[in-house]
């Protein structure tokens, strides 16, 4: 669908066809945001991009922005310095902190200014809405952003692969990082709260919609949060498979005019089940292999402290996918207790169906399921506290929380 829309081959009608070109406005705005973000972290500057573009003079910028903010930044710096108990050997000078803080404030203010300009221009379009096809209310932009997300969400399918690979990398290779533990803990707590706020809000909204349709009371359980964590680490391979298959089918349609309205290539359900089954199995086996390699490689105490957080976080990821993995491997097993009574112990040992039955009994029960249901949210809130115990948790855990949030 995304490729059809980009190449103007989508079968759109009415208002959807008219709004199609407006999606490019959202895309260009998103590209501009990415450029501003990359500029923020890669270029050292102390003035706004509006000054560089000639919109404001340097003196005007200093009088309106830099001079009023300088005393506030100084107060914040002195307060944080007092909380830390003075400078550390790796501390930078005040000038560095002032420039970094001012750079971020200017970046954030520029984004707010652009949003204000968009809001003013959108409301001005109400006066001439009969003559132009352009959003005249902000909810139009909200709908366009949702459409943009629906067309491009597959672009982020790689995040689950990357962050699983990142934790594997930290588990097998010693790494060193330098950052403030308090700042990283605050960042991780904020990411965790925002992540779960999005999950709870979305799940509660869906539950309310269902309750209205079924005339029932809205209910939000821990399953919503648990399933959201599982979803992020499970659907990456399926989305990757969909991207490859969709690209192949679109090229067949574009180059040869083949009908791509149906699915050709076997039972799609069975293909998806097989992908998830083998992917989750690989994640679980890789987590076990990381622990074996950690102890077998005879690391030094420093290397052990550096690599262990990656193993721990990767183990929690494996625990998230263990339940669906066992279910997919054992759901078709017809082995019963009566069959087990007819077999000797040696026959049971050699019987795959008996092992599947034992695995399903051990994992797919109410007690074990309740443990897994609460482990995922618990370890996400424990990660910020573990930063004080081992700084490596801050890098691995913090970035994983951000990736999971994006995936959701």
Please check the confidence at residue 405 and state whether its pLDDT lies above 70: no
Band (pLDDT 50/70/90 cuts) for residue 266 is low
Mean pLDDT of 144-155: 78
What gap in Å lies between CA 248 and CA 266, rounded to an integer?
15
Please check the confidence at residue 163 and state whether its pLDDT lies above 90: no
pLDDT, position 286: 92
Please check the confidence at residue 342 and state whether its pLDDT lies above 50: yes
Q: What percent of the chain has pLDDT over 70?
A: 71
User: What six digits make up the tokens of 273?
Assistant: 């089940």
Please check the confidence at residue 87 and state whether its pLDDT lies above 60: yes
Q: Which of 318, 296, 308, 305 is nearest to 164 (CA)?
A: 318
Band (pLDDT 50/70/90 cuts) for residue 293 is very high
- Average pLDDT taken over every residue of the chain: 76
pLDDT digits (tens, 9 = 90+) for 281-290: 999 999 999 9
Q: Which of 129, 161, 196 is nearest to 282 (CA)?
A: 161
What gap in Å lies between CA 311 and CA 290, rounded to an integer?
6
pLDDT digits (tens, 9 = 90+) for 118-129: 888 888 877 776
Q: Which of 261-265, 301-305, 388-392, 399-403 has the highest mean pLDDT?
A: 301-305
Cα 152 → chain centroid: 14
Mean pLDDT of 204-227: 57
Residue that wins the pLDDT comparison between 385 and 364: 364
Helix ranges (H only) for 215-300 are 222-234, 236-256, 268-296
User: Hunting for tokens 């003559």 — which residue is that?
Assistant: 131
Mean pLDDT of 165-183: 77
Please check the confidence at residue 401 and state whether its pLDDT lies above 90: no
pLDDT, position 2: 61
Contact indicator for 310, 168 with CB cutoff of 8 Å: yes
Q: Which of 275, 249, 28, 239 is nearest to 154 (CA)?
A: 239
pLDDT digits (tens, 9 = 90+) for 227-260: 777 777 888 888 888 888 877 877 777 777 666 6
| Three-state DSSP state, 312 | helix
Please check the confidence at residue 106 and state whether its pLDDT lies above 70: yes
Band (pLDDT 50/70/90 cuts) for residue 359 is confident
Q: Which of 187-196, 215-224, 330-339 has the highest mean pLDDT?
A: 330-339
């Amino acid at each position: 669908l995304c490729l059809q829309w980009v190449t103007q081959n989508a079968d759109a009608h009415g208002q959807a066809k008219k709004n199609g070109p407006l999606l490019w406005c959202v895309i260009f705005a998103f590209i501009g945001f990415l450029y501003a973000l990359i500029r923020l972290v890669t270029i050292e500057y102390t003035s706004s991009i509006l000054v560089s573009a000639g919109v404001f003079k340097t003196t005007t910028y200093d009088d309106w922005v830099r001079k009023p903010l300088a005393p506030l930044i100084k107060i914040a710096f002195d307060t944080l310095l007092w909380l830390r108990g003075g400078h550390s050997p790796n501390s930078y000078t005040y000038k560095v902190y002032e420039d970094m803080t001012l750079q971020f404030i200017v970046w954030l203010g520029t984004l707010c200014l652009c949003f204000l300009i968009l809001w003013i221009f959108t409301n001005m379009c109400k006066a001439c809405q009969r003559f132009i096809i352009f959003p005249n209310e902000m909810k139009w932009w909200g709908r366009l952003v949702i459409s943009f997300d629906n067309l491009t969400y597959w672009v982020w399918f790689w995040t689950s692969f990357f962050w699983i690979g990142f934790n594997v990398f930290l588990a097998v290779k010693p790494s060193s990082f330098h950052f403030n533990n308090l700042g990283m803990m605050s960042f991780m707590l904020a990411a965790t709260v925002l992540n779960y706020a999005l999950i709870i809000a979305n799940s509660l909204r869906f539950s309310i919609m269902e309750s209205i349709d079924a005339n029932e009371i809205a209910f939000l359980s821990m399953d919503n949060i648990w399933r959201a964590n599982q979803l992020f680490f499970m659907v990456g391979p399926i989305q990757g498979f969909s991207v490859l298959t969709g690209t192949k089918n679109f090229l067949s349609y574009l180059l040869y005019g083949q009908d791509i309205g149906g699915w050709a290539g076997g039972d799609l359900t069975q293909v998806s089940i097989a992908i998830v089954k083998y992917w989750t199995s690989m994640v679980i086996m890789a987590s076990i292999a990381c622990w074996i390699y950690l102890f077998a490689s005879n690391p030094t105490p420093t290397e052990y402290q550096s690599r262990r957080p990656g193993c721990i976080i990767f183990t929690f990821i494996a625990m998230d996918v263990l339940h669906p993995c066992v279910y997919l491997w054992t759901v078709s097993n017809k082995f019963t207790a009566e069959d087990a009574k007819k077999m000797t112990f040696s026959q049971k040992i050699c019987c795959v169906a008996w092992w599947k039955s034992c695995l399903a009994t051990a994992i797919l029960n109410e007690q074990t399921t309740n443990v897994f249901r609460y482990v995922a949210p618990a370890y996400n809130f424990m990660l910020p506290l573990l930063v004080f115990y081992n700084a490596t948790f801050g890098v691995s855990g913090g970035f994983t929380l951000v990736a999971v949030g994006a995936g959701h």
